[in-house]
A and B are shown apart, each in its own frame.
Chain A
Amino acid sequence: MPHDPVDVLIIGAGAAGAAMAWSLSDTRMRILCLEQGDWMDPARYPSTSLDWESQGMGPMSLSPNTRGRVEDYPINDGDSPIRISNFNAVGGSTILYAAHFPRLHPSDFRVKSLDGVGDDWPIDYPTLEPFYADNDRMMGTAGLEGDPAYPPKKVPLPPVSLGKVGHTLARGFDRLGWHWWPSDSAIATRDYEGRAACINLGPCITGCAQGAKASTDLTYWPAAVRAGVELRTRSRVREITVDENGLANGALYYDAEGNLQEQRAEIVIVACNGVGTPRLLLNSASKQFPDGLANRSGLVGRNLMFHPYAMVTGLFHEPLEGYKGPTGCCLMSQEFYETDPARGFSRGYSFEILRGRGTVATALTGMSSGALPWGADHHDAYEKLFDRTAGMVIICEDLPEECNRVVIDPELLDSDGIPCPRIEYRLSDNSLAMLDHAVARGREVLEASGAHSTTAISPLPPAGWHLMGTARMGRDPERSVVNEWGRCHDVKNLFIVDGSIFVTSGAVNPTNTIQALSLYVADQIKQRLDRLFD
């Protein structure tokens, strides 16, 4: 029995779907969002328990394959040096993200023109700028105005605490004469729009029990639901359906009991992230679209970009209080962000300073590195490791390559029997050269900050946090999947608004841009309602 038809069906209640739902809610259209996960209960997040670190390695792991929650779908990433991280719930991956919230640079939209690699976006920074501003206000971005790495911009809240770790590293950057700036963070550093101020719990990436971190279950969704948007949870979409004219007319989905349901809609908007979206489109093959929905270009799933990450850690003699403060948000350096041909690679990277390791992570890391013996010498060695580490992740720009892609695994199924994604990905020579350069500079700044030894992991295997490029934006239907305002070239009432539509990746965390793009596409839809399908 089909449900009552809606005007707009949004698939996915994460970063992008939430922003889209809120923006469209002033149109008085009937809007429904289907989300395979459920509402989360922050009172049960790991930081409320002493075993919070262990929970982060299991039921609240970043990896869906490790978590194995019923709301998750498995991903075959065994053929990739970078493994996928995501979360499936109202709020999507913002539940577990670190909430680092920088914007792309103006140059990121003109990569081909400026540096002769990748492609240019069909839109530019000034086009997105007002939507970045709206998003900063809705999410409650904390930071410091005046960063010389960016055009001028307003920041609603003061920056997160740098703490001893941040001040120590800031002095190191200053000694080298390198850029650094307090991180733009989607963290309420003061009480903000019903959210309590950050109290420096530390483990943001297992969910924020304080509610200070801007996950969209706390930001956009309450406003969207108040405005009349229906959010239907535990509803996992199997495929988008099309009519005889090749227009999307709804979706088939499984409810929490595993019953197949049908939902009709006039407009369908996909917001399932850079892996989930191509999975859904490829699973929506039909007579009109035998190679997958909206895939006449053959580019659905291709040009997958992560950000190749490295982690560089320094060991210090003095305690750094590294267990305090947002784990991923402290300060950022973009000294090596813009292209310099003398470096031997195109494009660049950002340093993002991390807090120290927790007590359990200190022990397990010490065990695996051989630095922590058991037995009589255990406590001596532990004392030299615990709270003596500070370091960084280095986030490198990944350039689009068609060979890097998401395909449908021939065997892997989720709990509803829906085929699951497989990742085919390799690091380019450009990325490898960039990682080498970045690790060397990372060691340099840690030593300038006082570290007596450093270690590096490059690439960082579990760093598939940023999923981009698999339904890219562009004006040419043969070279892109969606047009310059997010509508699929092949299906005039089907839109995509997640990281899939990125043309290039930049070298910053993408969530602010994903949401700004979603708000921009929503605005385009509203401006064109009378001629949307022309």
Chain B
Amino acid sequence: MPDQAEQEALLEAVLDTLIPPCEERGMPGAGALGLAGELPRDELGPVIDPGLQALGADFASSSLEARQARLEALSGEQPAFVPALLFHLYRCYYAQPAVLEALGMPGRPPHPEGYAMEENDLGLLAAVRARGRQYRDA
């Protein structure tokens, strides 16, 4: 059984495998962002702990391709492992300022700054106006 530090490194490597970094797009890896600490470990523990144990400590030092192959193999034996992690991971990862900015959005909540939008082009309604009334008398 790996100690706590090894377990954290292992989970970080799993997260970096599920959402790896992408330098070209400026997208950070999910593990390197430190999201392991934001996952609901008490809820996830019964589902993922057996999987982490099965992966073994050498998983973290493997290449991305090797880690992906190991996780795919694990999914055959423990089908809930990846979906359970992803459900929570996506909720954390895609709310990170660094991720939002890499996607071209402001790295902040919507409020209080909001968003500017283009002016309405109501000239597009010309054809609708030209058709005239379309409700029924009653």
Contact = CB atoms under 8 A, between A and B. Distances in A.
Interface of A: 45, 47-54, 57, 105-110, 113-114, 124-125, 144, 146, 148-151, 159, 161-164, 166-167, 170-171, 173-174, 177, 179-182, 198-203, 209-210, 319, 321, 323-325, 334, 338, 358-360, 362-364, 367, 374-376, 378-379, 383, 386-387
Interface of B: 17-20, 22, 25, 27, 64-65, 68, 71, 82-83, 86-87, 90-91, 93-97, 99-100, 103-105, 108-118, 120-122, 124-125, 127-129, 131-138
A113 B138 CA distance: 9
User: Interface residues of A: mostly helix, strand, loop or mixed?
Assistant: loop
B124 A199 contact: no
Contacts of B104: 319, 387
Contacts, number: 173
A166 B125 CA distance: 12
A28 to B, nearest CB: 38
The 10 closest A-B pairs by CB, nearest first: A199-B114, A363-B90, A359-B94, A161-B117, A106-B138, A201-B110, A324-B115, A110-B138, A209-B111, A107-B136
B138 A107 contact: yes
A107 B110 contact: no
Contact of B86 (A109, A171, A374): A374
Given A50-B96, A50-B108, A146-B129, A105 B136 contact: yes
B94 A363 contact: yes
A164 B27 contact: no
A362 B121 CA distance: 28
B112 A179 contact: no
A124 B137 CA distance: 11
Given A52-B109, A177-B127, A378-B19, A148 B90 contact: no
A125 B95 CA distance: 46
A474 B71 CA distance: 64
A321 B18 CA distance: 27
A129 B120 CA distance: 28
B126 to A, nearest CB: 9
B109 A149 contact: no
A323 B105 contact: yes
A106 B136 CA distance: 7
A413 B50 CA distance: 38
A181 B134 contact: no
27 contacts: A52-B110, A53-B94, A105-B135, A105-B136, A106-B138, A146-B129, A148-B129, A148-B131, A148-B133, A161-B118, A179-B128, A180-B125, A199-B114, A201-B115, A203-B110, A210-B112, A324-B117, A325-B115, A359-B99, A359-B103, A364-B87, A364-B91, A367-B86, A374-B82, A375-B68, A376-B64, A378-B19
